[in-house]
Amino acid sequence: MDTYKANQTSKLNIPADVLAESANLTDVQVAELFNCSISSLRNARSLRKGPLKDLPYTKFGKSVRYCLRDILEFQRRLRVDPNAIHGE
């Protein structure tokens, strides 16, 4: 196994070991995943507005973390299958 590749980080600067489904990501990491600003993510969470308003999160004191498993499920729910829309 190529240890160099195993130790590389993703294009999103999220280490490979963090990408396990049980990982808890910061708002900075989630903003990178969704290609949105951190303030958009925080506003969606606090104001319950916008496309990310239903994204589950966990509060640890003042810290907020997002479980990667929840993020993946959230993305699955938002997925649009164009063939299903057009009845193909």
List pLDDT tens digits, range 41-68. Answer: 999 999 999 889 999 999 989 999 999 9
Sign of CA dihedral 77, 50, 39, 45: negative
Model pTM greater than 0.75? no
Burial of 17 (0-12, 13-18, 19+ CB in 10 A): exposed
The structure tokens listed for 86 are 């057009």
Whether the Cβ atoms of residue 33 and residue 74 lie closer than 8 Å to each other: no
Checking DSSP bridges between strand 58-60 and strand 24-25, what pairing results, if any? unpaired
Q: What is the pLDDT of residues 11-30, one digit of tens each?
A: 677 766 666 767 899 999 99
Whether the Cβ atoms of residue 64 and residue 57 lie closer than 8 Å to each other: yes
